[in-house]
Amino acid sequence: MRAIGLLLWKDVVVELRAKELVYATIFFGAVVILVFCFAFLGGPKPTVDVAAGVLWVAITLAGTVGISRAFEREREGDTMRALLLAPVPRSALYLSKLSAISLLMVIVETVALLLVSLLFGIPIGGILPSLVALLFLGTIGFAAVAALFGASLGRARSRDVLLPLLVYPIVVPVLIAGTRGTVALLVGAEPAVASFWLKFLLVFDAVFVSLGVWVFEPLVAGDA
Amino acid sequence: MTFDTVDARGLTKVYGRQRALAGVDLTLRAGEATALLGPNGAGKSTLVGILATLVSPTAGSVRYGASGGGVSGGGASSVASDDAELADDELRGAIGVIAHESHCYGDLTGHENLVFFARLYGVADARATADALIARVGLRDAARRPARTYSRGMLQRLAVARALVHKPRLLLADEPFTGLDRAGVALLSELLAEERARGCIMVVVTHDFDAVAPLIDRVVVLARGRIAHDAAAPAQRSTAALADVYRAAVQS
């Protein structure tokens, strides 16, 4: 835990200095939402299904931009190598990156949620706790997969292209669960429906975080 | 973790069709500084990577003294301790690497970089250690500046301090004199001599014979992935004597 905290502290301090990832991901997420908003301009008012879909697509796309840059930063000065040389369990490296990515995405999600609520005219006040839980679990699931591939792509030449190609197919269940769960909350469906998607995300997170902890070492070690 | 020898046996590393190392046997001892020389592509960096535990050998093994852990080829890993992960972590904690890149974060100050790595290596008084080291490498005035504002030579000094922050048992220095001015070369030579006197096992990969000649006890020359020469350093610790040894080994 000490190592995870230390590595997370480092990521937070570096980002506070650079302010590059937060601005880039927030801006990208906002642009995606605005593009969708303009696409529906002049037509009938978009349904909550559309708003929920836009929210989760924006989060996923913005998250990928942030993750790609977060690992690029570790390649400057070859600091990933320095971390692999350090006497900390490789699982701590994985969990710290997962935490840092999640933290970044939480900030992006806050802005994205407000924008979607405003632009699509959807009140979220009454369902906020459940929506936050849904977003949190979805974020962990996405970050668990993205951190794994982000690190393992290492020095691959086409890593910026490969990252979304590898991550998106695997996080499709997160997108579906997040969108369906959000729709269920927005239309006031039976609590059991949203609860089902929350449990689904919880299982997804458990599986992929465990998998990440297990396979991170062989993926990044060996010929680092 | 303490170990007094590093014993590499039959180290072979193959990348695709390229054989970087072909059965290297090498024993390194405490308090001994070894110059690892060789032409480009001889396998020096691969050997350093294996000794640093960053690269897995295709075949062969490395044992880190009687009480230390070890790495071996063929995907298997042999460690002395019952707890493999603990042994690996402890082993890495006893190794210091000066590499081509600085291994430092540009957005952290020089001082923050050292404190971060000292804490990562479990150094008891990280802040005081960082203070002392940053002064030792002549970066006290620049200590509070982001590392990205450093010149190449200053970054190299910081990289040296980072590699020494946890007082490693095994120091692997890959082209450590790169980017240093004359004062920097003198300082690094002094630091390396101190590390050797402390009993550190030291390997210096370099093409800078001037800088390394007075420092070393032993010369190992790698050529085409094999050891072409392994003997005590020439009695005359001069650049010319070292260059003669190198030339003879590479041409043989």
Measuring CA to CA, which residue among A74, A78, A16 is closest to residue B159? A78
- Please give the pLDDT value at position A224: 53
Higher pLDDT, A75 or A84: A84
Helix (H, G, I), strand (E, B) or coil at B88: helix
Q: Is the pLDDT of residue A191 over 90?
A: no
User: Do A87 and B93 count as a contact with CB atoms less than 8 A apart?
Assistant: yes
C-alpha span between B52 and B62 (Å, rounded): 10
Mean per-residue pLDDT, A206-210: 94
Token pair of B36 as six digits: 């690892």
Paired with B242 in beta bridges are none
Mutant choice from B115, B120, B167, B171 vs A, greatest count of A C-beta within 10 A:
B120
What does pTM read for this prediction?
Answer: 0.85
CA dihedral A165, A170, A171, A176 (to 10 degrees): 120
Judged by average pLDDT, the poorest of A70-74, A141-145, B140-144 is A70-74
Inter-chain residue contact A18 with B95, CB threshold 8 Å: no
Task: Decide if A173 touches B, using CB distance below 8 A.
Answer: no
Domain layout of chain B by residue ranges:
5-94+169-251, 107-167
A72 lies within 8 A of chain B by CB: no
pLDDT at A126 over 50: yes
B56 contacts on A by Cβ (under 8 Å): 221-223
Task: Compare CB distances from A79 to B56, B100, B103 and report the shortest one's residue.
Answer: B103
C-alpha–C-alpha distance, residues A145 and A169, integer Å: 10
3-state helix, strand, coil in chain B (%, to 5): 35, 25, 35
Expressed as residue numbers, the domain containing A185 is 2-220
Which of A152-156, A181-185, A220-224 has maximum average pLDDT?
A181-185
Residue A122 reports pLDDT greater than 90: no
Nearest CB to A223: which of B56, B97, B101?
A: B56
Q: Residue B201: phi, psi to the nearest 5? A: -85, 125
For position A90, what pLDDT does the model report?
A: 87
Inter-chain contact B55–A3, Cβ cutoff 8 Å?
no
Instruction: Band the pLDDT of A222: cuts 50, 70, 90.
Output: low
Query: What local confidence, expressed as pLDDT, does residue A112 receive?
Result: 92
- pLDDT at residue number B76: 35
DSSP H or E stretch at residue B220: strand B218-223
- Which one of B116, B165, B175 makes the best mutation probe of the A interface by having the most chain A beta carbons within 10 Å? B116
The arithmetic mean of pLDDT across residues A110-123, rounded, is: 89
**Nearest in space to A148 (alpha carbons), one of A172, A167, A174:** A167
Count how many domains chain A has. 1
pLDDT tens readout for residues A22-34: 898 899 999 999 9
Decide if B55 and A77 are in contact by the 8 Å CB cutoff. Answer: no
For domain B5-94+169-251, give the fold.
Rossmann fold (3.40.50)
Gap from A158 CA to chain B (nearest CA, Å): 19
Structure-token pair, residue A200:
């689904």
Per-10-residue mean pLDDT of chain B, 252 residues long, equals: 85 90 91 91 91 90 71 44 56 90 91 95 93 93 93 92 94 90 90 91 89 87 89 80 83 76
Nearest residue of chain B to residue A82 (CA atoms):
B103
